[in-house]
Amino acid sequence: MAEQGSSKRQVAYKVYIADILNNRYVKEEGWLPNYIAVGDKKVSRANLLGVIVSKDTQETDVVSQNFILDDGTGRVALRFFESGADLDVGDMVTVIGRPREFGAERYVVPEVIKKVKDPRWVEFRKLELAGEKRPEQEHSQAPEELSVETEDFVDDSNPLSDIMSIIRRLDVGAGVEFSDISKESGKPNTEELVNKLLEQGDIFEVKPGRYKVLE
C-alpha cells in the first residue's frame, strides 16, 4: 500500500514565498515527501509567481545555477543543479517546484518554470490566494481568458532530473539498484548525483544500494 501511495504525484499548492519561509518544515520518514506546513496543507510541491531579481552560478562537485525569486512577500532561491537555465533578471515567472531546507536555508528545486508576460497575473494570484471573487459586473478578463504570452521552460538538461527519471522508469516497485542507474545514465558522476538527490530528500534507499523516488 505504501508503494502505491508513493507513486501519486503531489499537488502543487499556490502559495506565497513568505509561506515557504515562515512555516514549519517537516521531514518525513520512509516513503512520504518532506513538506512545509501551511495551514492545513502539506506543501511538498509549491506553485509560486514572482520576478527573478538576481542570478549566479556556482561550481563545486556539481555545477549549480541559483536564481532569486521575489513575489513581494519574500525572496527565495531557485536552485538548478546545472547551468544553462534560460532566465534573466526581470523575468516574471510561475514556478512549480519542491521546497527544500538545508541548515538554516530554505530554497526551491524547480520542476517547471513558465515565463509570464502579462503583469495582471500578479493581481489574479493575489485574488486566488485571498479567496476573493471578482464581481460579475467587472469587465476585466478572467485568468483563463487573458491573452498572455508565456514560454515554458522545463529543466530537461538537469542531470538530477535525468537520474530521477531513470529511477522512475526502471522501478517496478522495489526500487532500483545503483548499478542499473549508473549503466542507464552513462554519467561519470552518477554517484555524486545520487548522493545529492539523497541529501535533498528527492530519493531514498529502500535498502543499501537500491533507490526509490519520493513523490
Cell numbers that stand for 60 in this block? 563545486
The pTM of the full predicted model, rounded to 2 decimals, is 0.63
Place of cell 562537485: 61
Residues forming CATH 2.40.50.140 domain(s) in the chain: 2-156
Cell numbers that stand for 110 in this block? 524547480
Q: What is the pLDDT of residue 23?
A: 95
**Residues 170 and 176 sit within 8 Å (Cβ to Cβ):** yes
**Residues 215 and 10 sit within 8 Å (Cβ to Cβ):** yes
Place of cell 506565497: 16
CATH annotation of 2-156: 2.40.50.140
| 3-state DSSP assignment of residue 61 | coil
Residues forming CATH 1.10.10 domain(s) in the chain: 160-213
Q: What is the pLDDT of residue 4?
A: 42
Phi-psi region of 57 (alpha: psi -120 to 50; beta: other; left: phi over 0): beta
Q: What is the pLDDT of residue 197?
A: 83
Mean pLDDT, contiguous 10-residue spans, the chain (215 residues): 48 91 88 87 92 80 77 91 74 90 88 83 80 44 41 54 87 90 90 84 83 79
SS3 content of the chain, % helix, strand, coil (to 5): 25, 35, 35
C-alpha span between 57 and 61 (Å, rounded): 13
Residues 6+ apart with CB under 8 A from 194: 163, 178, 181, 203, 211
Q: What is the pLDDT of residue 188?
A: 87
Q: Which residues are bridge partners to 63 per DSSP?
A: 59
160-213 folds as Arc Repressor Mutant, subunit A (1.10.10)
| Backbone angles phi and psi of 62, in degrees to 5 | -125, 125
Q: What is the pLDDT of residue 104?
A: 86
Cell numbers that stand for 11 in this block? 499537488
Cell numbers that stand for 96 in this block? 512549480
